[in-house]
Amino acid sequence: MTEKARGSVANGALPWMVVSPAVLWTLAFFAAPFIAMAVVSLTLHEGGGFSFANYQQFFSNPSYYQALVNSLEVTGIVTVVSILLAYPFAWILAEQIPERWQRLALILAVLPFWTSYVVRSYSWLLVLAEKGVVNNTLVQLGIIAEPIQLANTRFATVTGFVHFFVMLLTLTIFANLKQLSPSYRKAAADLGAGPLRTFLHIILPLTFPGIMVGAFLTFVLAIGDYITPQILGGNNELLMPQLIMLQIGRRGDFPLASALSILLMAVVTVAYIACARWLKIERA
């Protein structure tokens, strides 16, 4: 155990002095709001006392829990597709591109995300519009006869998400790949394994932490995101964040919105525990 500074009596107060701003801030502006939300979720917009009605409403109204189902489906698809697209890309960046160009390649990949998030989502709407770039190209190439509906669909929402999370996963997988000691590969080669076997049995498992961290971040960020589904989905279906914002925006129904938020948080917590468990098992 590292020796921590003890020294003079003044140290007694000092540790608390330096640590308390962060702790108090978190308690006041993260924990307290959460408790407030939990309390409010047990009240009703119309008044009256303690009630589970908001939660009951969620489980009994199909349009409501459908939103959670939609969120899980969309987030699931986004995570899987992003991993599949990002891994080869991260591999190429880490292995195929010469060392001195790697940082530049990474920066180039991250650069487009330096536009405003709202504007980027809106740009996807224009790209996928009936008269937009994608449809125009497909028609001109003769792949389709008439423009197809791409914007204002779940496909558009997924595309918007995947666009961002491919970048995120590329970063986490890239970092993981760079960390791998070359001795693993040498050992595998010495034992007679070809490149494919080396990859499948050595490299891929060793990059699982990078994938898992990226996947978890993707899950948390995507499931709580309001903008992308709102701009790109065309209200053709509702995801949880949209349902929550509907309650605040249209009716000022904080109790119901709070209950929905807590339910969303519960789902994310379950995912977090699952991930943490999995990572622990992997490490052991």
Partner 1 sequence: MKTLSWFRLGLRKLALSATALIGLALSPALAEDLNALVWCDHSDPNFLKPFEDATGIKVNVKEFEGTGAGLAILDQSQPGEWDVMVIDSIDVRRGVEKGLFEPLPEDKLPLGDLYPQVKLDQFTKIDGKRYGITEKFGYNTIGFNKSKVDPNDMQTLQSLVSDKYKGRIAIYDYYLPVMGMAALAAGKKTAELTEADLPAIKEVLLKMKANAKLVGEVTASQTALATGEVDILVGGGEWVTAGLSKENPALDFSIPKEGGILWSQSLAMLSASQKKDAALKFIQYVLSPEGQARLSTSSCYWGMPANQKAALSDEQKKVLRFDEQPDFLARAQLYPAPDEKLDKQMQDVWTEMLQAQ
Partner 2 sequence: MRSGIRLATIAYATLIYGFIFLPVATLVLFSFQATLFPVPPFSGPSLRWYQAVLSDARLTSALANSLFVAVISSAVATLIGFHAAWGFARFWIPASAILRGLITLPLTVSYLIIGMGLLVLFNGLGLPKSLIAAGIGHVVINLPLCFAILYSQMGEHQANIERAARDLGAKEWQVLLLVTAPMLWPALFASFFLSMTFSWDEFVISFLLTRFDTTLPVEIWNLLRSGLNPKTNAIGSLVFLVSIAFVLLFELALFRKPRS
- Contact with partner 2 (CB under 8 A) among 53, 74, 129, 150: 129
For residues 153 and 233, what is the distance between their CA atoms, to the nearest angstrom? Answer: 5
Q: Does 224 bind partner 2 (CB under 8 A)?
A: yes
Q: Kindly state the smallest distance separating residue 212's Cβ from partner 1, in Å.
A: 32
Among 64, 89, 91, 155, binds partner 1 (CB under 8 A): 64
Rounded-to-integer distance, Cα 44 and Cα 62, Å? 20
- Cα separation, 172 vs 154, whole angstroms: 26
Q: Per CB under 8 A, which of residues 178..207 are in contact with partner 1?
A: none
If one counts every other C-beta atom within 10 angstroms of the C-beta of residue 256, the result is 25
Joined tokens for residue 275: 């991930």
Does 244 bind partner 2 (CB under 8 A)? Our answer is yes
Angle at the Cα of 277 from the Cα atoms of 24 and 171, rounded to 5 degrees: 75
Closer CB to partner 1, 62 or 98, in the complex: 62
Interface characters, 134-153, with partner 2 (x: CB under 8 A): --x-----------------
Show the tokens assigned to 23: 């702790």
For residue 79, the tally of other CB atoms under 10 A from its CB is 23
9 binds partner 2 (CB under 8 A): no
- Considering only 9, 18, 143, 281, the residue that binds partner 2 (CB under 8 A) is 18
Q: How far apart are CA 167 and CA 113, in angstroms?
A: 9
Exactly one of 187, 249, 266, 272 binds partner 1 (CB under 8 A); that residue is 249
| Residue from 63, 96, 140, 181 in contact with partner 1 (CB under 8 A) | 63
Q: How far is the CB of 271 from partner 2 (least distance, A)?
A: 9
Confirm if 59 and 139 have CB atoms less than 8 A apart.
Answer: no
